[in-house]
Amino acid sequence: MSTRRGLGPWLAALVVLVVLGGGVPHGLLADQRGWFTALFWTGFGLAVVVLIALGLRGWRDR
């Protein structure tokens, strides 16, 4: 991130992903098997990739 302005929303999204990554599988999906779990982890993985891409988009090597 080349500017601090974009850091706050990015960190907030990171915190949300961390909470969801721990809370959803052990809470909402604790008794679920199969498609619900697979769909959650697929969506979670895609969200992580997008978040990393957004974080690196404005990064500059000085």
**Tens digits of per-residue pLDDT, 20-47?**
999 998 998 888 888 889 999 999 999 9
Compute the distance between CA of residue 18 and CA of residue 6 in angstroms, rounded to an integer.
19
Q: Check residue 43 and give its pLDDT.
A: 95
User: Is 70 exceeded by the pLDDT of residue 48?
Assistant: yes
Token reading at 37: 């779990």
Compute the distance between CA of residue 15 and CA of residue 26 in angstroms, rounded to an integer.
17
The reported pTM is 0.77
Q: Check residue 56 and give its pLDDT.
A: 86
Token reading at 21: 């990554």
Please report, for residues 5, 41, 42, 46, 58, the alpha-carbon distance to residue 34 in angstroms, rounded to integers and kept in the order given. 41, 11, 12, 19, 38
